[in-house]
Structures are given as C-alpha cells and as structure tokens.
Amino acid sequence: MSFTSLTFLFYFFPIAIILYSIVPKRFKNGVLLLLSLFFYSWGDPRYLILIMVSIVVTWFGIGFIHSRRQKREEARFYFVCLLVFNLAILAFFKYYGFLIDNVNMIARTNLQIVDLALPFGISFYTFKIISYMADVYTGKTPPQKSFADFALYVCIFPQIGAGPIVQYSDMLKELLVRRPSSDLFGRGVEKFILGLGKKVLIANNLALIWSSVKTSPDLKMSAMTAWLGIIAFTLQIYFDFSGYSDMAIGLGNMFGFKWAENFNYPYISKSATEFWRRWHISLGNWFKTYIYFPLGGSKCSAKKQLRNIFIVWMVTGLWHGASWNFVVWGLYFGIIIYIEKIKLGKILKKLSPKIQVIYCLLIVVLGWVMFDLQGLSQIANFYSRLLVFGASGFVDGKALYILKTSWKLFVLAIIGASPFVLRLINNIKSRFGRSGYVFLSVCYVLIVLLSVASLVADSYSPFLYFKF
C-alpha cells in the first residue's frame, strides 16, 4: 500500500485518523502500532513475520546487552552479534542475487538464483533498528522499556516505506509525550496535499517522458532528446521522493509528531557537498552519525579522510541498490566530494553563484545517468548521446515533440524545485490573512481533485524508492 493508492486515501487513512482521534491518550501508541502493522502487511503478510523477528530480537538483545554494560568486552561482543544479525537479514534479501550473479561471472559457475521479493521498506527499518542499537549502546539514550513503543518506532507507517529515517534519539520524546494541536494537524494536511501533488501531478508525468527516452531501441536518439530525458528524470526523482517524504512528514504532523524536513531544495546547491546536505537529509545524517564520524570523519589525515569518504559513499551506493551502477554512482560522488574538500571547493567559492549552481547541476544530472540506467555499456552509450556522438545528431523529431507537449510541465517542475512556491504560500498567508487562507484552501482542494482524478484514470505511477 502506498500513500498515493486509492485504498490508502479513501479507506486506510480516514479510518486511521478517526480511530486515533477517538481512543484515550494511553492507547494511542497501541492503536498506531496496530495500524502500522496492518499497513505493512497489506502487500505481503509473510514479511510481517520478518520485521517482527527483527524487532523482538533487537529489543530483547539490547536489553540483555545494557544489563551487561559494565562488562565492556562482553557487551561489545553481543552488540556486534546483534548488529550482524540485522545486517545479515538485509544483506540476504537485498544482495543475495547480486552476490550469486557475480560469483557466476567470476568463477564461471551456473548457480541458480531463487527469486526473492525485496521486503517492503527493509533498508529503512533496518537503519532505524541500528540507530536504536547504537544510541543505547553508546549511552546516548536509555533502552526502551515498552516493547510496543519500540515496535512503533521501527514500523510507524508514515516512515516504513521510504523514510524519513528519524534517529531513535530524535524520536524518543515524542514516543512518550506528544502535544497534538489543530495548528499542527492543519500543517500536516497542507504538507500531505503538497506532497501528493508533487508525486502524482508532476513526478508521474515526468516519469512518462524519461521512460519513453530510456526505452528507445539501442538508445538511438539525438543529443537534445537525451538531455530532455535525463533532465526529466532529474526532476522526477526529486518530486517523487520529496513528495513522498512530504506526505510522510504531513502524516506524522497529523498524529502529533514533528519530523524535520528531508529535502531542502537541493537543486539550488552550489556544490556536490552542499547538494548532499540538502538531499535526503535524514539518510545523510544517518551515514554521518553511524559510519562517517565513528571512522574519524574529517578530523584525521588526508589519507584516512579519503578512506572514510570512500567507505561511506560505497555503502551509500550499495544501500540504493544491489547493482554495480549504484556502486559506481556512489564512488563518483565520493570522489567529487573529496576533490571539493581538498581544493575544488576553494576555487568554486571564487566564482559567481550562478556558475556554482550550473556546475552542481551538471555534476548531479550526469550522476543520475549512472543511478537509473542498468549496465555500464548502456550508461556509456547514453553519455555518448549527451555529447552528440549519437546517430541522430543534435535534435530530432522526438525532442521537438517532447518540447511541444511538455514544456509547461518542465517549467512548472523547475519552479517547484525552487523555494519560490513556499515563499509565495507564506506571502499569501501573511499579506492577505483569512482571505489568503481561503484562496490556498481552494488551491489545495483542486490539487487533491486533480490527483485523485489522475489516480482513478490509472495513470503511470512508479515510485523509485520503494525498491530500496
């Protein structure tokens, strides 16, 4: 079940809100947990067993480790065992096929691969479990006494599918005490609707453009078609994931949670380093907190810093997918960020802001080619098309057709990827008062109606991050 499914919008969501609103305060976490387990089991109930095993083993395991915290060596041993247990489950389901494929290729064997469906949200909830383990083990927070509250932290339904990955220490207080208000609920509704519009009205339509480009036979296309296609994907993945994150944060607001923004207009960044501070912020913070800083961060020698960046970005690539293109994509950004840290960053600061933004956009757009296309030969072939080495020259009929039919969509997406819309909304609220709120309410109703109409029409609605 996704937030953009009609089942969620017209059945699960209103029922969840009503049930949560009418139950006494002491039962709200329990109701939210039951709703989350139902939400998680909707696609494949079998994987409910898997997530519950991880939750039960981790909760009891950390309690056991905490009781032996005075015996450091023993506690460390059991902590490592518990960490390996959770990572092994993730590795098996996510990387089993990738490993067998590479063994077959290197050893020239013919090992058969059992087709395993990737459990819903496994990368996200595993990282949340590790966050809890690390925060308790290092003494940052005490162990959770309530099994239900811990289980709720792991599988709360707004976060389970695609994050944001809220660290346990940041969510602990709200698990115990939340102060819901009509203002917070209203902000949540507004956030959810804007996210819904991002995903359904913009991302889904951009996806159609990119799909038509990348599935061209033998990638026969002009340079302009290739550029329009990858720009469409660049905007699609932003509106796809930031839209879903906005919906998640909005849902959290409606249930009394205050979660930080997960995207901060990354396409206005002036460097790759800044871009990754603005893109998928919760994941970036997780990697910094639990991998980069423990390795020594940047407070070490240049060689060790390079090692740390290399490890973090290789893991980042693998986290996104079990394929070599993700590894290459991760290392690509790791190398660029390292170069920016040691020298390029100082040079960039001397240039005009517009040139810095253009530089960053070029780096990011070229990187998305490696992210979405499968196979190094296909990636290289597409780059050749971008550089006008393709058989169709600079422009062809397909490029002209895309421009003619979709230029308004591109303009809307570019504007929407900037802070302009948020500033406009805040301006309307502050300048026009009640009438401004009425106008915005009408706009939000229109977004909902158009989104639902699009979903009812069974429009193309992929969600990129569900596969992670």
Q: What is the pLDDT of residues 140-154, one digit of tens each?
A: 888 998 999 999 999
Two tokens, residue 10 = 């017209």
Give the start-to-end residue ranges of the domains of the chain: 6-177, 184-456
pLDDT over threshold 70, residue 236: yes
Two tokens, residue 219 = 């990638």
102 compared with 165, residue with greater pLDDT? 165
Question: How does the average pLDDT of the chain come out, rounded?
Answer: 90
Max mean pLDDT range (39-48, 62-71, 425-434): 425-434
Two tokens, residue 155 = 């599988």
Q: Look up residue 93 and give its DSSP letter.
A: H
What string of DSSP letters covers 196-265?
HHIIIIIIHHHHHHHHHHHTSGGG---HHHHHHHHHHHHHHHHHHHHHHHHHHHHHHHHTT-----S---
393 compared with 87, residue with greater pLDDT? 87
Lowest mean pLDDT among 64-78, 229-243, 245-259, 389-403: 389-403
Average pLDDT of the residues in 412-441: 93
In this prediction, what percent of the chain has a pLDDT beyond 70?
97
301 compared with 338, residue with greater pLDDT? 338
pTM of the model: 0.92
- pLDDT (0 to 100) of residue 180: 83
- pLDDT (0 to 100) of residue 468: 55
pLDDT over threshold 70, residue 75: yes
Query: Is 320 considered catalytic here?
Result: yes
**pLDDT level of residue 111 (50, 70, 90 thresholds):** confident
pLDDT over threshold 60, residue 465: no
Q: What is the pLDDT of residues 352-381, one digit of tens each?
A: 999 999 999 999 999 999 999 988 888 988
- pLDDT (0 to 100) of residue 389: 67
- pLDDT (0 to 100) of residue 390: 60
pLDDT over threshold 60, residue 466: no
pLDDT over threshold 80, residue 392: no
DSSP H or E segment with residue 169: helix 168-176
Q: What is the pLDDT of residues 278-331, one digit of tens each?
A: 999 999 999 999 999 888 887 887 788 889 999 999 999 999 888 889 999 999
Q: What is the pLDDT of residues 161-183, one digit of tens each?
A: 877 999 898 898 888 888 888 89
Contact 104, 110 (CB under 8 A): yes
- pLDDT (0 to 100) of residue 121: 87
pLDDT over threshold 90, residue 119: no
Contact 188, 248 (CB under 8 A): no
How far apart, in Å, are the Cα atoms of 439 and each of 185, 321, 444, 445, 446?
19, 43, 9, 10, 11
pLDDT over threshold 90, residue 412: yes
Q: Which of 94, 198, 320, 385 is catalytic?
A: 320
- pLDDT (0 to 100) of residue 375: 81
- pLDDT (0 to 100) of residue 461: 61
Taking the C-alpha atoms of residue 212 and residue 353, their distance in angstroms, rounded to an integer, is 34
- pLDDT (0 to 100) of residue 162: 79
111 compared with 409, residue with greater pLDDT? 409
